[in-house]
Structure 1
Amino acid sequence: MRVVMFGFQTWGHRTLRALLESEHDVVMVVTHPRSDHAYEKIWSDSVADLAEEHGVPVLIRNRPDDEELYTALKEADPDIIVANNWRTWIPPRIFGLPRHGTLNVHDSLLPRYAGFSPLIWALINGESEVGVTAHMMDEQLDAGDIVVQRAVEVGPRDTATDLFHKTVGLIAPVTVGALARIAAGETEFTPQDRSRASFFHKRSAEDIRIDWNWPAEDLERLVRAQSAPYPSAFTHHRGKRLEIVSAVVSEGRYGGTPGRVFYREGDGVVIVAGADARTGRNHGLAVTRVRTAEGEELPATDYFTSMGGYLTNRP
């Protein structure tokens, strides 16, 4: 089939590479300009560079809604558009233009975790598995019929970076497998159960601010979800920003006020956590490594030279 590819960052790069290595003919690529957004500078393999290396025409767009792009698409005469990590709305006259419509590849197990940063949100929420879904695009974001879906297990110590590497490896087989079904003439795929759908927004600085009213188990997953190269989850100590680089759920149960710097346990320093910490039934978050406002990373036991005081949401 003649394929036009819409994509960005490493997800789009892996998709384009899979298409270039397949039996299909990539006739044009549409990608976004380079971005300075904190999350969009991560996993930023260039789709444009890969396309140009293979002699594929490239158009750079923030939004795919201009007449020049529409005319170029018509002239390219694609059988299908394949999209992965396209960051803005694709209008119906674009996604409906090819003979077989548009196949979108999304890194979640749809219908759950539609939208942005699905791996990070899924890890924070304690999901047991994540994955990649190829579905037919319609007017609702990430809502079309599922063509191929594959899952991988979330391990007890997996970080968001681990999950990225697990799922990015699924892009090629999911994409090529979905195209094989479509090329074979199949048109009936699996409708999404919209009663199970959830939609998530982009991550921002506010989303990595630690709230010590959260249970320690949730905070431990937040820290893992914000693993390098993502920005670390952070709190404030004595008025200065303090990043929590690594942490585990404490073995003991600790009572008192959320955010209290309380007790040395093993290699960590336990911070009291949970809205009902006053009951003494909660585990705390045993912080093991921190990074100061000056950028110094060190063991928490070296940073907290004495117990007492509080970690706070704001300076």
Structure 2
Amino acid sequence: MRVVMFGYQTWGHRTLQALLDSEHDVVLVVTHPRSEHAYEKIWSDSVADLAEGNGVPVLIRNRPDDEELFTRLKEAEPDIIVANNWRTWIPPHIYGLPRHGTLNVHDSLLPKYAGFSPLIWALINGEREVGVTAHMMDAELDAGDIVMQRAVEVGPADTATDLFHKTVDLIAPVTTEALGLIASGRTDFTPQDRSRATFFHKRAAEDIRIDWTWPAEDLERLVRAQSAPYPSAFTYHRGARLEIVTAVVSEGRYGGTPGRIFYREGEGVVIVAGADARTGRNRGLAVTRVRTEDGTELPAAEYFTSMGGYLTGRP
């Protein structure tokens, strides 16, 4: 089949590489310009460089809504469009242009975690599996019929970085197997159960600010979800920003006020956590490594030289 690819960052790069390695003919690539957004500078393999290195024409667009782009798409005569990590809405006159429509590849187990940053949100929420879904694009974002889906388990110590590496390796087989089904004439794909659908926004600075009223189990997953190279979860100590690099759920149960710097346990320093921490039924968050405002990273036991005081959400 003649394929036009819409994609960006490493997800789009892996998709394009899979298409170039396949029996299909990539006739045009559309990608976004480079961005300075904190999350878009991560996993930023260039789709444009890969396409140009393989002699494929490239168009750079923030949005696919101009007449020149539509004309180039029609001239390319694609049998299908394949999209992965395209960051803006693709209108119906574009996704419906090819005779087979548009196949979108998304890094979640749809219908859950449509939208943005699905791996991070899934880890924060304690999901046992994550994965990749190839589905036919329709008028609602990430809502079309599922062509192919594969899952991997979330390990008890996995970070968002670990899950990225697990799922990015699924892109090539999911994409090529889905295209194989479409090329064979299959059209009876699996409708999504919209009663199970969830839709998440992009991550921003406010989303990594630690709220000590969360249970320690949730905070421990937040810290793992904000693993390097993602920006670390942060709090404030004595008015200065303090990043929590690693942490575990405490062995003991600690009562008091959320955010209290309370007790040394193992290699960590326990911070009281949970909205009902006053009951004494909660685990705390045992912080093991921190990073100060000047970029110094050190064990929490060295940073917190004495117990007492509070970690807060604001300076």
Deviation per residue, 1:279-302 (Å, 9 max, x gap): 000000000000001110000000
Structure-2 residue corresponding to 1:165? 165
Computed over aligned residues only, the root mean square deviation of the Cα atoms, in angstroms, reads: 0.2
Deviation per residue, 1:53-110 (Å, 9 max, x gap): 0000000000001000000000000000000000000000000000100000000000
- The 2-side partners of 1:76 and 1:133 are apart by 26
- The 2-side partners of 1:151 and 1:47 are apart by 25
Structure 1 letter corresponding to 2:17:
R
Structure-1 residue corresponding to 2:228? 228
Say if 2:148 is the partner of 1:148.
yes
- The 2-side partners of 1:45 and 1:18 are apart by 14
Show structure 2 runs of 5+ residues with no match.
Answer: none
- The 1-side partners of 2:237 and 2:49 are apart by 44
Structure-1 residue corresponding to 2:200? 200
Structure-2 residue corresponding to 1:95? 95
SS of the equivalent of 2:149 reads strand
Superposed counterparts of 1:52-201, under 5 Å: 52-201=52-201
Deviation at 1:313, TM superposition (A): 0.3
Structure 1 letter corresponding to 2:93:
R
- The 2-side partners of 1:51 and 1:35 are apart by 18
SS of the equivalent of 2:135 reads strand
- The 2-side partners of 1:158 and 1:290 are apart by 19
Q: Percent same amino acid at aligned positions?
A: 87
Q: Structure 1 runs of 4+ off > 6 angstroms?
A: none
- The 1-side partners of 2:182 and 2:304 are apart by 59
Structure-1 residue corresponding to 2:32? 32
- The 2-side partners of 1:200 and 1:64 are apart by 22
Q: TM-score, normalised by structure 1?
A: 1.00
SS of the equivalent of 2:71 reads helix
- The 2-side partners of 1:131 and 1:19 are apart by 20
Q: TM-score, normalised by structure 2?
A: 1.00
Structure 2 letter corresponding to 1:241:
R
- The 2-side partners of 1:113 and 1:187 are apart by 24
- The 2-side partners of 1:94 and 1:283 are apart by 52
Structure 2 letter corresponding to 1:218:
D
Deviation per residue, 1:247-275 (Å, 9 max, x gap): 00000000000000000000000000000
- The 1-side partners of 2:50 and 2:294 are apart by 38
Structure 2 letter corresponding to 1:50:
L
